[in-house]
Amino acid sequence: MADLNPRSMASIAGHPIHPMLIPFPVAFFIATFAADLVYLANGEAGWASGAMWLLGSGLVMAALAALAGFADFLGERRIRIIRAAWLHMIGNVLVVLLELVNFYLRYTEGAAEAVAPAGVILSGAVAVLLLFTGWKGWELVYRHRVGVSDVHEGPD
């Protein structure tokens, strides 16, 4: 029996790589926003410095997740025809662009100086965008069955 669902092009032993990687940048970007809020509340520079490290780590992990996501998107026509896939991709590209600006501001102006107001606004906007792109990612898996194998392969 053939699997009729759109398949993930970037996978390890049949397991899609993109969903394995996306929790990292999401966690790092949300933690950046949380660290910004704590810094604004208590003024301790360590929180601003930590936020910059979280932001940089999130950008690195987002680049890795994007490589796997683009491989899936570009490699499978059935994914490209799904509107949710386009919204998920465009939203996540916007997330990365906003976080690149956020990182640049912190790098050039200083980690603590860039938090208020630009850094926290950018981090908050990214947190909201991640809710949307996460919803669209959920839709791809649970509604459109992207990367889901419905073929039973063993005696389990």
pLDDT digits (tens, 9 = 90+) for 126-140: 999 999 999 999 999
Q: Tell me, what's the pLDDT at 153? A: 64
**Rounded CA separation 108/3 (Å):** 50
- Indicate the range of 24-28, 124-128, 146-150 predicted with least confidence: 146-150
Looking at the chain, the whole-number percentage of residues with pLDDT higher than 70 is 95
Question: Alpha carbon of 50 to those of 38, 67, 88, 93, 131: distances in Å?
Answer: 11, 26, 28, 24, 23
Q: Are 79 and 146 in contact (CB under 8 A)?
A: yes
Confidence category of residue 156, pLDDT binned at 50, 70, 90: low
The reported pTM is 0.91
Question: Alpha carbon of 142 to those of 47, 63, 76, 112: distances in Å?
Answer: 37, 24, 17, 41
The two beta strands, 15-16 and 11-12, are antiparallel
| For residues 107-136, average pLDDT | 97
Q: Tell me, what's the pLDDT at 16? A: 93
Q: Are 150 and 1 in contact (CB under 8 A)?
A: no
Domain ranges (residues) in the chain: 15-142
